[in-house]
Amino acid sequence: MSWSISVDQGRPSRTALAVALLRAAHQVLDTPVVFADPVALPILGPDAERRIRADEARLRQPPARFLRAALVARSRHAEEGLAAAVGQGVGQYVLLGAGLDTFAYRNPHPDLRVIEVDHPATQAWKREMLRHAGVVPPAGVTFAPLDLERDTLSTGLTHAGFDWDRPAFFAWLGVTMYLTRDAVMDTLRLIAGLPAGSGIVFDYSLPADRLSPGQRPIFQAMLDRAAAEGEPWRSFFTPDSLLPDLRALGFTTVEDSGASELNPRYFAHRADGLALGGVSRLVHAQVDGTAGYRPEGKAP
Q: Annotate 2-18 with DSSP letters as a single string.
A: -HHHHHHHH---HHHHH
Q: Which residue has the higher pLDDT, 220 or 203?
A: 203
User: Considering its fold, how many domains does the chain have in total?
Assistant: 1
Q: Give the span between the Cα atoms of 80 and 30, in whole angstroms.
A: 20
Of 126-135, 160-169, 195-204, 282-291, the least confident: 282-291
- Single-letter residue type at 261: E
Q: Is the preceding omega at residue 63 within 30 degrees of 0, hence cis? A: yes
Give the list of residues 6+ apart from residue 261 with CB closer than 8 angstroms, or none.
none
**104 occurs within a structural domain:** yes
Predicted local distance difference test score (pLDDT) of residue 11: 59
- Is it the case that residue 281 has pLDDT exceeding 70? yes
- Using DSSP's 3-state secondary structure scheme, residue 45 falls into coil
Sign of CA dihedral 127, 129, 132, 137: negative
C-beta separation of 197 from 90 below 8 A: yes
**Structural domain of 141:** 3-287
pTM: 0.92
Q: Give the span between the Cα atoms of 202 and 284, in whole angstroms.
A: 7
CATH of the domain at 79: 3.40.50.150
**265 occurs within a structural domain:** yes
Predicted local distance difference test score (pLDDT) of residue 295: 57
C-beta separation of 288 from 194 below 8 A: no
**89 occurs within a structural domain:** yes
- Residue 267 carries which DSSP code? S
Q: What distances in angstroms separate CA 274 from CA 7, 19, 80, 205, 270, one per listed residue?
A: 29, 16, 20, 19, 7
- pLDDT confidence band for 127 (50 / 70 / 90): very high
Q: Give the span between the Cα atoms of 41 and 46, in whole angstroms.
A: 8
- Interval 79-118: pLDDT, tens: 999 999 999 999 999 999 999 999 999 999 999 999 999 9
**293 occurs within a structural domain:** no
Mean pLDDT over 247-251 rounds to 96
**266 occurs within a structural domain:** yes
C-beta separation of 234 from 179 below 8 A: yes
- pLDDT confidence band for 296 (50 / 70 / 90): low
**45 occurs within a structural domain:** yes
**296 occurs within a structural domain:** no
Look at residues 246, 125, 175 and name the one whose alpha carbon lies nearest to residue 15: 175
**298 occurs within a structural domain:** no
Mean pLDDT over 241-268 rounds to 97
- Interval 38-80: pLDDT, tens: 999 999 999 999 999 999 999 999 889 999 999 999 999 999 9
